């Protein structure tokens, strides 16, 4: 799922261009989840890319501030994080320095940063993902994809259960997770889901697409 601006998507139905009045009317005591695609700065990335990343997270802040009308964020979940509180913030600062100040600000405003992942589920998934980056033969690749898919399915089911059980009635939460994973999670039907995708997200996608085309051209 890729959308620009704030999108309200109850049960995967998409309604665009919600104004503050509509956001306020939509809330009415229901659980709310504000979903932000995770993007990462690259230490070896060029200046143009890292500028896009900075713009993206600045726009994320602007968008989620608008969503306060629907419900103030009480809980925060982020992919790759299986720690809690200050330890979770330290891990986030190490893996995504641009997402860190966004989450830190919400924590200072009273939100609780909770673990989204489970260590014994996430680490095997990460190992298989890393294996995909170094495999050289088709036969081994097919086998690793099978293990990776199984591990990721188990991981996404755990994430879905965390969202189901840890967000109470009337609460609003922030979820930062990869766009492709977001599209595979079936959220609870009684939960209002807002997809936050700033305009710069499309530019970041184009940057990666252009880089892939360059590699194909030189390969």
Q: What is the mean pLDDT of the chain?
A: 87
pTM, rounded to two decimals? 0.87
Residue 163 burial by CB count (10 A; 0-12/13-18/19+): exposed, middle or buried?
A: buried
| Residue count of the chain | 219
- Give Cβ neighbours of residue 159 (< 8 Å, ≥ 6 apart): 77, 116, 117, 177, 181, 185
* 28 three-state secondary structure: coil
The pLDDT confidence band at residue 43, using thresholds 50, 70 and 90, is confident
Range name among 11-25, 27-41, 71-85, 124-138 with the lowest pLDDT average: 11-25
Report pLDDT for 25: 58
């Amino acid at each position: 799922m890729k959308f620009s601006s704030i999108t309200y998507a109850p049960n995967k139905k998409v309604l665009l261009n919600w104004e503050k009045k509509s956001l306020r009317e939509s809330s009415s005591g229901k659980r709310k989840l504000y979903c932000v695609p995770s993007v990462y700065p690259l230490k070896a990335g060029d200046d143009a890319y890292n500028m896009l990343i900075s713009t993206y997270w600045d726009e994320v802040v602007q968008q989620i501030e608008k969503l306060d009308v629907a419900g103030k964020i009480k809980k925060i979940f982020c992919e790759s994080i299986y720690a809690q509180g200050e330890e979770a913030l330290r891990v986030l600062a190490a893996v995504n320095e641009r997402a860190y100040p966004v989450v830190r600000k919400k924590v200072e405003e009273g939100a609780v940063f909770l673990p989204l992942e489970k260590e014994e589920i996430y680490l095997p998934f990460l190992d298989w993902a890393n294996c995909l980056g170094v495999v050289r033969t088709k036969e081994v690749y097919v086998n690793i994809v099978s293990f990776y898919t199984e591990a990721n399915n188990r991981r996404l089911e755990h994430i879905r259960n965390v969202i189901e059980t840890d967000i109470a009635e009337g609460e609003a939460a922030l979820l930062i997770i990869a766009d492709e994973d977001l599209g595979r999670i079936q959220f609870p039907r009684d939960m209002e889901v807002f997809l936050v995708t700033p305009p710069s997200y499309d530019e970041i996608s184009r940057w990666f697409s252009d880089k892939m085309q360059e590699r194909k051209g030189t390969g």
